[in-house]
Amino acid sequence: MTAASDVLVVIPTLNEARRLSGVLDGLLADPALDRMLIVVCDGGSTDQTCAIAEAVAAHHPQVRLLHNPKRLQSAAVNLALRTCGEGREWLVRVDAHAAYPAHYVSRLIACGERTDADSVTTPMVSRGEDCFQRAAAAAQNSPLGTGGSAHRRAGVSGWVEHGHHALFRSARFAALGGYDEDFSHNEDAEFDTRLVAAGGRIWLEGDLAIGYYPRSTPTALFRQYLRHGDGRARTVRRHKARLKLRQLAPLAIAPAVLIAAAAPWFWPLGLPAAMWALACLGYGLLLGLRARDPCAAASGLAAMIAHLAWSIGFWRRTLAG
């Protein structure tokens, strides 16, 4: 085992009062607490996020609040590492809008030491509370929403090119310049592209799945995936990366919807968009029946929102030059 106080845990926040207490409670119950410095790096919250962090810090010296003027998650992690990371071997990213298994940090470090990986990633299983969030979660947990991405399936471990960011070797992360702060979304995939190109190794630990809470409204989900599509296009352009099949398929959605606008004059032009919509709605209905959840039956609609937004974001960035 490495020396004490060698782990920097960064929690980027922006209006996360609803879940921050639970996340901090879990970290503070970890056996590795004496090795940790936990930094809540806040991007200008207008709710009680900062007050919660300050109250916890008043009783736990392992917790600090740091203000992030750039507001982005990428900037939060970089800032915390520059400010508080000296002499710390491990960097752990914890997102406040998620739920974590017990002893999460301890288990991540054990995995990093066992595999000698430069980065340890985890699966991400979506959870829903209100009806639309359950629909979005059902879509994201299925091939309909993720195309079968490995880090969306719990229980599968192995070497990967990308996964949900969890643990890094701090020196390796810093040597590559950390996250690119020009990216509001997809900063994780962009970093992994650089890490792999530099010979780094990424391990996916299937037994450490986290619970992720999707956006709870159609508008919020659309905006999120619009940014994801934009970020993916920027990554592809910068690194001349090839898209996987599951990423290529949504590219056809925005053009199909655009062409469908001419269907009143020539009806076959509406067929591609109609077939996509029917496939999504039908698959979503099947997911709802399997889950015995009427809200999950609307997962096809949630998937359509995500597909279209991602496609628009990608094409808008690509065509902008």
Residues 69-112: pLDDT tens digits? Answer: 999 999 999 999 999 999 999 999 999 989 999 999 999 999 99
pLDDT in tens, 35-78: 999 999 999 999 999 999 999 999 999 999 999 999 999 999 99
* H-helix or E-strand spanning residue 193: helix 187-197
DSSP state of 148: T
Which domains can be identified in the chain, with CATH numbers? 7-128+151-214 (3.90.550.10), 220-320 (no CATH)
Provide the pLDDT for residue 4.
Answer: 45
Q: Which position has the token pair 């017990």?
A: 102
pLDDT at 167: 97
The pLDDT, as a whole number, for residue 242 is 81
Q: Looking at the predicted structure, is the pLDDT value of residue 270 above 60? A: yes
Three-state DSSP at 11 gives strand
Residue pair 57/24 in contact (Cβ under 8 Å)? The answer is no
> Which of residues 315 and 155 earns the better pLDDT score?
315
Burial of 81 (0-12, 13-18, 19+ CB in 10 A): buried
- For residue 147, the model assigns a pLDDT of 61
Residue 310's pLDDT is what?
A: 96
The residue-averaged pLDDT of 151-168 equals 85
pTM of the entire structure? 0.90
How high is the mean pLDDT of the chain? 92
